[in-house]
Amino acid sequence: MSAEERIAELKKTLEYHIDRYYNQDSPEISDYEYDMMMQELKNLEKEHPELVTPDSPTQRVGGTAKREAGVLVRHNVPMLSLQDVFSKEEVFNFVEEMQKQLDHPEFVVEYKIDGLSMSLRYENGELILAETRGDGINFGEDVTANAKVIKDVKQKLKDKPEYLEIRGEVYMKNAAFEKVNETQELLGKKVFANPRNCAAGTLRQLDSKVTKERDLSMFIFNIQQVRGMEFATHTEGYEFLKKQGIHVIDDYKVCTTAEEVWDAITAIGENRGNLAYDIDGAVVKINRFSDREQLGETSKVPRWAIAYKYPPEEKESRLLNIELSVGRTGRITPTAVFEPVRLCGTSVSRATLHNQDFIDDLDIGIGDTIVVYKSGEIIPKIKEVKKEKRPSDWKRFVIPDVCPVCGAKTEREKDTADIRCTSPNCPAQLERHIINFVGRDAMDIKGFGTVYIEELVRLGYINNVADVFVLKTHRDELIDQGIIGKEKNTDKLLDAIEKSKENDAYKLLTGLGIPNVGKAAAKAIMKYFKDMDHLKEASVEQLTEVNDIGEVSALCIRNFFTDEKNIEILDRLKEYGVNMQAEETETVESVLTGKTVVVTGTLPTLGRKEASELIEKYGGKASGSVSKKTDYVLAGENAGSKLTKAQELGIPVISEEQLKEMLGI
């Protein structure tokens, strides 16, 4: 691959991950993996300056400013990023360069908090605005209402400078994060991957009551601008802020030599596991403000500071057990259970071992000392086994040839690493099937948590999906036994079950758990066949006439509807009043008929759901991802990586106004 091709590939990949991190608060890779890609791009652009373009990720500061949390505001002072370094040599080079340019410079070494950057503006001691970083240069989001309910944000200062702007990091302590995720689980909602994602999403959402409940915190790490008083140094500014009751970065250290700076960085790294919150590095900054002014800044970073990034966190633990779970299709998954360790802000004690081949490759057994890390700083994984610490009675773990739940024989699927339970009556498969059935993409029965399902299956109240709609006949027993809770909770769930009967039939089809039939396929199928009775009689040839339904999926559907047990369950569902009809949607022939359109960004008047419904009404297909099969991309403000991909593939990009013109609206 040529340098030009590699640069283009890195730009494309980084754009995608920048959008996931800054604009969706949902990163897919670790900071370290991102940093390494960015570093490679910087190095290539340094070697080939003729290939540097203004839209390169190396030439920008942050993400894009969004409107979810309020109106956009212009920055008084740019909220720049920091130059990242990854080695002792780079730290020493920075210190030595500063010593060449400045007269006996002082360096402040402090924690780099893993959160969301926010600036606070005060006039005469009164908080007038809180803003996020946004694009870092021009605009951020006004989040004043949410900032005011964060306990570390002071709304009034004891002293009253004419104007004061300070910048800090909004974060979530590990205890607060765990409490939020416990609540999310109880409510049957998606849990947050890590404290940083949770803090970012909380600060940007619209309800300040939610912000207050989630107990965000904030550290201030810089005075951006001040009028009406003066500070000679960064640490002097910190002392002033402390007197105002403002929470500044903990345990900073003032240094004068490269060795002192490195020792301070090392000490922070050694202590990071003992903190009540996450850090992702150490910041080294010049202390005197006059020195900072002399050095200035580039378009992206100040010349007077660097951020040392620690390598990905790994910890040793002892493997206590390997648990086996049985999925909806009978697939057996081994999970490692080990002594709890803290990684990336959460306590972890479990990691998937995937299958027997993975176990064999790791050469792992109970009692082993293992090295655990988090993939993408989210998913716990086992990196390796410390064989030199292996116990004398060690044996490699082998998945047994009987199901751990029902005792039936297990079989390894041909040409795969999957081992499955052969019994169709296995209760574990039933549990997973019911979890899928009541889930958000299927019948979407709010509050029907996994714990309830496991208990209802165990006690024999649920033996198939139709039994879900018979639970109301056991109301008094359920309340007496406290399976779902007291009367209020039980009635709430039973009401949600009754309401789900009115769902569009595609939700029922999704919930039946037919292999290769997910939400999108179910929608297309029900739109074509209109009701479950017609679908039940459809041949493989008729099924393949539906867009995106191939022969494999068609055979799975046909096999499902030729099974007498499945037909019996469907008949019961119909008898209980579960809707079997697809919603009638009037489709208008237009230029979009048969075309695939991807909606991205914030449109002037239409929400994404409204835009998708409009596309489908006029015969088009609204898709969530851009590919060569995409016909149009409907793009609004802050369109992000989908727009970039469309441009790279040469797919026509249209605005909301152009869409309406095409449809004659």
Q: How far apart are CA 231 and CA 11, in angstroms?
A: 41
Is 169 annotated as contributing to ligand binding? yes
Q: What confidence tier does 287 reach under pLDDT thresholds 50, 70, 90? A: very high
**Is residue 151 classed exposed, middle or buried when 0-12, 13-18 and 19+ CB atoms within 10 A define those classes?**
exposed
pLDDT at 64 over 70: no
416 lies in the same domain as 440: no
Residue finishing a domain among 393, 421, 449: 421
Catalytic residue among 42, 46, 100, 112: 112
Is 133 annotated as contributing to ligand binding? yes
pLDDT at 526 over 60: yes
User: Residues 332-356: pLDDT tens digits?
Assistant: 999 999 999 887 667 789 999 999 9
pLDDT at 69 over 50: no
Is 12 annotated as contributing to ligand binding? no
Is 110 annotated as contributing to ligand binding? yes
398 lies in the same domain as 413: yes
Which two three-digit tokens encode residue 657? 């106004």
Is 493 annotated as contributing to ligand binding? no
Is 403 annotated as contributing to ligand binding? yes
Is 198 annotated as contributing to ligand binding? no
112 is catalytic: yes
Higher-pLDDT residue of 173, 28: 173
Of the candidates 416, 413, 419, the one whose C-alpha atom is nearest the C-alpha of residue 399 is 419
Question: For position 333, which CATH number holds?
Answer: 2.40.50.140
**Is residue 388 classed exposed, middle or buried when 0-12, 13-18 and 19+ CB atoms within 10 A define those classes?**
exposed
Cα-based distances in Å from 58 to 115, 300, 441, 457, 647:
21, 8, 39, 55, 20
Is 33 annotated as contributing to ligand binding? yes
Q: What confidence tier does 67 reach under pLDDT thresholds 50, 70, 90? A: very low
Residue finishing a domain among 520, 541, 575: 575
246 lies in the same domain as 384: no
Q: Which of 209-213, 504-508, 522-526, 597-601 has the highest mean pLDDT?
A: 504-508
Residue 402 within any structural domain of the chain = yes
Residue 274 within any structural domain of the chain = yes
288, β-bridge pairs: 233
Residue finishing a domain among 519, 542, 575: 575
Contact 326, 403 (CB under 8 A): yes
Is 255 annotated as contributing to ligand binding? no
185 lies in the same domain as 224: yes
Residue 590 within any structural domain of the chain = no
8 lies in the same domain as 100: no
507 lies in the same domain as 535: yes
Q: How far apart are CA 640 and CA 144, in angstroms?
A: 26
User: Residues 104-138: pLDDT tens digits?
Assistant: 999 999 999 988 999 999 999 999 999 998 888 88
Higher-pLDDT residue of 594, 569: 569
304 lies in the same domain as 319: no
- Is residue 616 within a helix (H) or strand (E), and if so which, with residue range? helix 608-617
Q: What confidence tier does 24 reach under pLDDT thresholds 50, 70, 90? A: low
542-547 mean pLDDT: 88
Q: Which residues, in sequence order, are CB contacts of 665 under 8 Å at separation 6+? A: none
| Residue 290: predicted pLDDT | 96
Q: How far apart are CA 278 and CA 381, in angstroms?
A: 19
**Is residue 468 classed exposed, middle or buried when 0-12, 13-18 and 19+ CB atoms within 10 A define those classes?**
buried
Lowest mean pLDDT among 74-78, 175-179, 200-204, 387-391: 200-204
| Residue 54: predicted pLDDT | 76
What's at 203, amino acid-wise? L
546 lies in the same domain as 571: yes
Is 584 annotated as contributing to ligand binding? no
446 lies in the same domain as 389: no
Q: What confidence tier does 21 reach under pLDDT thresholds 50, 70, 90? A: low
Residue 83 within any structural domain of the chain = yes
| Residue 377: predicted pLDDT | 56
pLDDT at 149 over 50: yes
161 lies in the same domain as 295: yes
Question: For position 52, which CATH number holds?
Answer: 1.10.287.610
Range of the domain at 379: 314-421
357 lies in the same domain as 501: no
DSSP code per residue over 45-110? HHH-GGG--TTSGGG--S----STTS-EEE-SS-----EEE-SHHHHHHHHHHHHHHSSS--EEEE
494-510 mean pLDDT: 95
- Is residue 38 within a helix (H) or strand (E), and if so which, with residue range? helix 31-47
pLDDT at 294 over 50: yes
| Residue 53: predicted pLDDT | 83
Of the candidates 642, 633, 648, 629, the one whose C-alpha atom is nearest the C-alpha of residue 598 is 633
- Is residue 113 within a helix (H) or strand (E), and if so which, with residue range? strand 107-113
Average pLDDT over the chain, rounded to an integer: 88
- Cα-Cα end-to-end distance for the chain: 48
Length of the chain: 665
How many structural domains compose the chain? 5
633-661 mean pLDDT: 83
pLDDT at 257 over 60: yes
Is 309 annotated as contributing to ligand binding? yes
Q: Which long-range contacts (CB under 8 A, 24 or more apart) does 56-59 make?
A: 56/11, 57/11, 57/14, 57/15, 57/18, 58/300, 59/299, 59/300
User: Residues 154-189: pLDDT tens digits?
Assistant: 999 999 999 999 999 999 998 898 888 888 877 767
- Is residue 347 within a helix (H) or strand (E), and if so which, with residue range? strand 346-352
Higher-pLDDT residue of 261, 28: 261
Share of the chain above pLDDT 90, in %: 50
Question: Any idea which residue has 């001691």 for tokens?
Answer: 125
Residue 591 within any structural domain of the chain = no
| Residue 15: predicted pLDDT | 82
Q: What confidence tier does 323 reach under pLDDT thresholds 50, 70, 90? A: very high
Higher-pLDDT residue of 528, 261: 261
Lowest mean pLDDT among 48-62, 401-415, 534-548: 48-62
Backbone angles phi, psi at 419, to 5 degrees: -110, 130
Higher-pLDDT residue of 65, 447: 447
pLDDT at 322 over 90: yes
211-226 mean pLDDT: 94
- Do the strands 632-635 and 653-654 form a parallel or antiparallel pair, or are they unpaired? parallel
Which two three-digit tokens encode residue 416? 């795969």
Backbone angles phi, psi at 539, to 5 degrees: -85, 170
| Residue 66: predicted pLDDT | 46
131 lies in the same domain as 43: no
Looking at residue 602, what DSSP letter applies?
A: B
| Residue 418: predicted pLDDT | 86
- Is residue 395 within a helix (H) or strand (E), and if so which, with residue range? none
Residue 492 within any structural domain of the chain = yes
Contact 524, 509 (CB under 8 A): no
Question: For position 249, which CATH number holds?
Answer: 3.30.470.30
Q: How far apart are CA 200 and CA 205, in angstroms?
A: 9
Which two three-digit tokens encode residue 288? 């005197």
155, β-bridge pairs: none
368-378 mean pLDDT: 80
pLDDT at 278 over 90: no
Contact 83, 307 (CB under 8 A): yes
Residue 8 within any structural domain of the chain = yes
Supply the pTM of this predicted model: 0.54
| Residue 184: predicted pLDDT | 80
Residue 213 within any structural domain of the chain = yes
